[in-house]
Chains A and B, each alone.
Chain A
């Protein structure tokens, strides 16, 4: 007994092995920024299916819907930013291959996570009133203020998650983690909205190392919110993980071209980059970078 909290380091396969078909999985980051892509790629390789995915979506959503992993998708947008429309998502929507879609306003999405994080069934807000978000999701109710204003608001339902997957820059082996980039996004909120949270990071350091050259305010996740820590260098590729790396625009272009090309184009992309494990992916990315130079 050394008095330190437990070591939560896991492998990618151990994380994905603990997931089950039919689960509701929240994916942190924002669009094409700091997405836990190594964990997403591992889901692609698994036999998991019938998932509910909750994400401010980028290629995580595109890849999972293209692979037919998603039964229900909860999103406010899906975008690659420098390429505004995500071609795999667009294709899936236009072919009608996502059985259930829940398109929310961005702020409603945050409020839904907040409700889940506070263990409430809903929280009220204005966003959504008058828009087709309420028409296309008729199960979302309104609530009337019990106070004298008597106004009617959207009762944004809690976005309760079975599991949250997030990617940060640094963590210790216990699950305390810092983001070093410009924006925390909502990863702590995803963690609080979830029963379990798996964290992938660029680098695992000792606890003292987390704040040796980094303000304590950058500690976004406390270990009490984290169930597993995976060290996956370049694990957010091809999304941003500032300052460790920026978005791989050349790779993103290749991804988008394959996704909006023929079935053969996509099969070739999959074969080259997604058929093997994460090490094989990273090796293929290195080769791609050398060829593109």
Chain B
């Protein structure tokens, strides 16, 4: 088995983010999150409930974008909102911007009234972040993504949730931010970004230089673990034999 790639490391780091979730709906947005969630279900957390990203709960763990699988439930969009409000869900979303306080933006860049770049809109981010566990995936770590303040708060970080009162803070749970350079949480001083680990071959300085805001670094920063041989086989031969992951994280 040849050396593992950065994409493989990211997939394992994403899988680790879902490892202790138990029997809840793991809801990945995007390709690497989908890969990571399926890897988690095949390894550390077989109880995870996964979907085809459309409207079906899948009983098996098919390769990315495979059509056929055993179905174990129906999850049309209207039921997704019910699960969000009910709570047994961990979503990993994208983030065009994420700030030092763990706020996320997928709405617009610049002034909301007349943005320099209109993005998707807030989608479900406001509801996700005050209702269920939320993580973010950033395939290209840069100072334009990791910013001091996001232009529009779509996903709510812990400080903003606290300011908005107990109804907002009660279920706010920003769990992990995984980028192509490292793994973060929001347990730095005053609930700010903290570097948990750098991926193999990445230095702490590289992460800090690639960030447009301060990130808390503990005295000893770990290196993100490499996938096990079993995980590499699952990634390469079962879940993503076509190497779609390299479109998001090039080799």
Chain B residues lying within 8 Å of A250, measured Cβ to Cβ, are none
> What 1/0 flags go to B68-94 for Cβ under 8 Å of A?
000000001110010011000000000
| Pair B121/A78 contact, Cβ less than 8 Å | yes
Of the 9-residue stretches A3-11, A18-26, A183-191, which lies at the interface with chain B?
Answer: A183-191
A143 nearest CB across to chain B (Å): 10
| Pair A96/B54 contact, Cβ less than 8 Å | no
Chain A residues lying within 8 Å of B76, measured Cβ to Cβ, are 182-185
Chain A residues lying within 8 Å of B161, measured Cβ to Cβ, are 129-130
Chain A contact patch, size range: 35 or more
Q: What's the A-B contact tally at a CB cutoff of 8 Å?
A: 140
Partner pick for B126 among A105, A152, A153, CB 8 A cutoff: A105
CA distance A184 to B116 in the complex (A): 35
Of the 9-residue stretches A44-52, A85-93, A196-204, A208-216, which lies at the interface with chain B?
Answer: A85-93
CA distance A203 to B171 in the complex (A): 46
Say if the beta carbon of A30 comes within 8 Å of chain B. Answer: yes
Of the 9-residue stretches A131-139, A166-174, A229-237, A280-288, which lies at the interface with chain B?
Answer: A131-139
Say if the beta carbon of A108 comes within 8 Å of chain B. Answer: yes
Say if the beta carbon of A159 comes within 8 Å of chain B. Answer: no
Chain B residues lying within 8 Å of A30, measured Cβ to Cβ, are 77
CA distance A77 to B131 in the complex (A): 19
Say if the beta carbon of A13 comes within 8 Å of chain B. Answer: no
Say if the beta carbon of A253 comes within 8 Å of chain B. Answer: no
Say if the beta carbon of B31 comes within 8 Å of chain A. Answer: no
Of the 9-residue stretches A120-128, A254-262, A267-275, which lies at the interface with chain B?
Answer: A120-128
| Pair A76/B121 contact, Cβ less than 8 Å | yes
A78, A110, A129: which has the most chain B beta carbons within 10 Å?
A129
Partner pick for A126 among B54, B77, B115, B171, CB 8 A cutoff: B171
CA distance A102 to B77 in the complex (A): 21
Partner pick for A94 among B78, B116, B152, B167, CB 8 A cutoff: B116
B161 nearest CB across to chain A (Å): 5
| Pair B127/A89 contact, Cβ less than 8 Å | no
Say if the beta carbon of A239 comes within 8 Å of chain B. Answer: no
| Pair B55/A131 contact, Cβ less than 8 Å | no
| Pair B55/A129 contact, Cβ less than 8 Å | no
B28 nearest CB across to chain A (Å): 15
Given A96-B113, A126-B171, A183-B76 in contact, is the A106-B123 Cβ separation under 8 Å?
yes
| Pair B120/A85 contact, Cβ less than 8 Å | yes
CA distance A182 to B171 in the complex (A): 31
| Pair A152/B116 contact, Cβ less than 8 Å | no
Say if the beta carbon of B43 comes within 8 Å of chain A. Answer: no
Partner pick for A103 among B107, B117, B124, B164, CB 8 A cutoff: B107
Chain A residues lying within 8 Å of B114, measured Cβ to Cβ, are 93-96
Say if the beta carbon of A243 comes within 8 Å of chain B. Answer: no
Say if the beta carbon of B203 comes within 8 Å of chain A. Answer: no
Given A130-B164, A185-B77 in contact, is the A107-B121 Cβ separation under 8 Å?
no
Using CB atoms, name the residue of chain A closest to B166: A151
Given A30-B77, A93-B115, A103-B107 in contact, is the A129-B122 Cβ separation under 8 Å?
no
| Pair A107/B119 contact, Cβ less than 8 Å | no
Using CB atoms, name the residue of chain A closest to B116: A94
| Pair A184/B78 contact, Cβ less than 8 Å | yes
Chain A residues lying within 8 Å of B166, measured Cβ to Cβ, are 151
Partner pick for A131 among B78, B121, B126, CB 8 A cutoff: B126
Partner pick for B56 among A85, A105, A125, A182, CB 8 A cutoff: A182
Say if the beta carbon of B147 comes within 8 Å of chain A. Answer: no
Partner pick for B156 among A130, A153, A182, CB 8 A cutoff: A130
Given A183-B76, A183-B77 in contact, is the A78-B120 Cβ separation under 8 Å?
yes
| Pair B127/A130 contact, Cβ less than 8 Å | no
The 3 closest A-B pairs by CB, nearest first: A127-B127, A129-B168, A130-B164
Having A107-B124, A131-B126, one finds 8 other A-B pairs with CB under 8 Å, namely A57-B121, A78-B121, A94-B117, A103-B107, A106-B81, A129-B126, A130-B164, A183-B54
Interface, chain A (partner B; CB < 8 A) = 30, 57, 75-79, 84-85, 89-90, 93-96, 103-108, 110, 125-133, 135-136, 151-153, 182-186, 189
